[in-house]
């Protein structure tokens, strides 16, 4: 089982330097204070929604800017990291054709140590 997170490539240096993803990077986010994930995604609908949301932002975001980070959900659970089901009203508008229970949230920070091997390899291509 994976938890997928999308980020802008401009954030990669900070992510690598911190050793994880943080809510401090996405200050314009409607889910401030939480990192947004998709549980076992089957479509790119959330990715498209992210692009639409950030398209008018200070740092425009299109598909070429997107980096996908997949985290191992089983490892997160085994480590006791709290992964919240959709407990915020904004999840309803994230991807209208997807059930809201496909989204998960982690508060504040998540270490890169929980990345899947494939995501770790992808990240190493950048750094």
Domain boundaries, the chain: 2-126
What pLDDT, on a 0 to 100 scale, did the predictor assign at position 84?
Answer: 87
Instruction: Give mean pLDDT, residues 57-84.
Output: 87
Q: What is the pTM of this model?
A: 0.80
pLDDT by residue (tens digit) across 87-111? 555 555 555 555 556 888 898 799 9
Q: Which of 32, 50, 60, 34 is nearest to 93 (CA)?
A: 50
Top pLDDT among 77 and 85 is at 77
CATH 3.20.170.30 fits 2-126, yes or no: yes
Residue 106 sits at the vertex; the CA angle it makes with 72 and 8, to the nearest 5 degrees, is 80
């Amino acid at each position: 089982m994976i938890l997928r997170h999308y980020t802008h490539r401009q954030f990669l240096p900070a992510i690598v330097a911190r050793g994880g993803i943080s809510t401090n990077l996405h200050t314009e986010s409607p889910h401030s204070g939480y990192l947004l994930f998709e549980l076992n995604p089957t479509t790119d609908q959330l990715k498209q929604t992210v692009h639409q949301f950030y398209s008018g932002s200070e740092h425009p975001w299109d598909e070429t800017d997107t980096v996908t980070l997949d985290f191992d959900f089983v490892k997160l659970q085994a480590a006791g990291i709290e992964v919240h089901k959709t407990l915020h009203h904004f999840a309803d508008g994230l991807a209208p054709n997807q059930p809201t229970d496909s989204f998960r949230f982690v508060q504040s920070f998540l270490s890169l140590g929980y990345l899947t091997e494939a995501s770790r390899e992808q990240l190493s291509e950048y750094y």
